[in-house]
Amino acid sequence: MSVKHALTRGLELGRSVFQLGLLKSGGRVVAKLRADRFRVGPSVRTVQPQAFLPSRYRYYRTSLKGLAAQLQSAGFRRRFGGGSPRNRAVFLAFGLGVGLIEQQLEDDRNSAATCQEIQAVFSKKRFQSPLKPFVSGYKLEDYIIGNQIGKGSNAAVYEAAAQFAPKNESNSRDALPAVQLREEEEEERKTAHLCHAAPSKPSLCIRLVWITGSSSEAILKSMSQELVPAAPLALKQEKELIALDGHFGVLPKRVSAHPNVIRVYRAFTADVPLLPGAQEEYPDVLPSRLNPAGLGNNRTLFLVMKNYPRTLRQYLEVSTPGRRQGSLMVLQLLEAVDHLCRQGVAHRDLKSDNVLLEFDSDGCPRLVISDFGCCLSQSDSSLQLPFNSMWVSRGGNASLMAPEVTTAVPGHGVVIDYSKADAWAVGAISYEIFGQQNPFYRGLGLESRSYQEKQLPALPSSVPADVQLVIRLLLRRNPSKRPSARVAANMLHLSLWGRKALANQDGAGMRKLADWLLCQSAVVLLKGCSGPSGTRVEAELQRSFLSNLDLEDLRTAVGFLLYGREQHQACILSA
């Protein structure tokens, strides 16, 4: 073996050993090396630590730099003390490799610190609802109910307008500066629908849920999943404690506000009224006092939410978004799924009918995930559901269940992991966003239980290559090879705004990425201070990205993108 080859092998060995984590602690390795005996010629000597070194040098003795120095020193001693040239070269190169890794780890520590600082800044900037807080609204009589705007398998949705004003202390307005008063007046003009009894376009809606239960406590208990996206004041204070299995307990967890997750502003129970279209649309679930043949209960659950003009399915039936808008729409769904996963919630019924849509000031669609009736929300946030019986519900829409969910067989000790199931559903919905039929809807040939990845239809050539890569990765059958929603979202963020930072990746790649993150943070902060631009979809997405920064997730996203681009270039060259 040549010396050059030996050096190369030593460097590779030094990198691989430490990157695989085989040497868990530099301090332990150094201690072991000090205890070992290095043969130098015929005699034997023991490497002993120098106890007289002051405490400020102790890090040197226990860091990778210290280990590298000792390994290099031992290599030089072997050079002049005997041993084969190959072993001497490999040992010396191993020490050099450790020294190089220490520099890389130092860069990683700096990059991780940068990510943590940025995350700390943006995580404090919580999403604020565009609607002003209510002071009332816990009774059905507080609302004027209009036309029916939607109906599902377990609920009907109606337009609504509040007959009460939003929280606005008139006696405190005199103390406000004139500029702030003008801003509030402008905001009130935009949200005037909350102050008038008959607005021209109601921006609230009421969801009437068809459920079983006679008392308010029983109704709230049976429909606790619907309350996962509820705001802190959605229920009256006395309703916050309800009867759970004979004991009083707190309602299940609720997710914090997010621009791409529906918000329930009020939740209350009331007697079922005879609303427009009820006799024609859902006569069977009406109580007998309204329909003698009806099987429903007298009381039911009402949820007050913002009224969105259409669902994603309705929008896609008449429009096909452009490549950038389509990418932003997929990214919004991934950000929403990641937000839910971080708080221990799996939606389990993602489909275009359950995604609502409005437009921002630039005309970009803003997507909002709704209908949490099938969600999994556990106190331990594990997103793992024991599947010991066929009576355990897997979730909602069977066509868009991830492979690991639909192929699960009930049995003792069987657990379904939902941590990446919603991300898989986003990959399937992405076909619809880009003008294709969803390949997993019935009648189109593919089933999530049995499909092969090579059977997935090709996306239009107009879809960016990075977006196509993300969709292919999200639809991998094996969840361990599928990126999380966070990693997939990072890939799209980097593709949309960080292409220059990804170019010419080398040893300084993460440093360049950290520099780009700092610049991006400054730009987003400046835009946020400039007023209405901070409410645009792109600004919301950038804030969400920066508030969830994690070095390992970012590194994984970069790795996926670079690998995908290499594969794409290879395909072009082979063609």
Catalytic residue numbers?
349
DSSP symbol at 253: P
Residue 116's closest CA among 434, 521, 542?
521
On whether the CB atoms of residues 251 and 235 are closer than 8 A, the answer is yes
Distance CA 516, CA 191 (A): 38
- Bridge-based pairing of strands 310-311 and 355-359 is antiparallel
Residue 428's closest CA among 293, 312, 525, 274?
312
Burial class (CB in 10 A: 0-12, 13-18, 19+), 96: middle
Other residues' Cβ atoms within 10 Å of the Cβ of residue 446: 19
Residue 351's closest CA among 383, 399, 385?
399
Task: Decide: helix, strand or coil at residue 496.
Answer: helix
Query: What residue type is assigned to position 264 of the chain?
Result: V
Distance CA 348, CA 345 (A): 9
The string of DSSP letters for 418-470 reads: -TTHHHHHHHHHHHHHTTPPPTTSTTSS--TTT--GGGSPPPPTTS-HHHHHH
Two tokens at 537?
A: 């979809």
The string of DSSP letters for 13-55 reads: HHHHHHHTTSS--HHHHHHHHHHSEEEETTEEEE----TTS-G
Distance CA 408, CA 437 (A): 26
Distance CA 159, CA 145 (A): 6
Task: Decide: helix, strand or coil at residue 290.
Answer: coil
Two tokens at 105?
A: 């780890």
Distance CA 363, CA 315 (A): 13
Task: Decide: helix, strand or coil at residue 158.
Answer: strand
DSSP symbol at 263: -
Distance CA 345, CA 254 (A): 9
Q: Helix 85-123 crosses helix 3-19 at what angle (to 10 degrees)?
A: 40
**Of all helices (H) and strands (E), which one includes residue 368?**
strand 365-369
Two tokens at 362?
A: 């630039």
Two tokens at 227?
A: 């309350």
On whether the CB atoms of residues 502 and 558 are closer than 8 A, the answer is yes
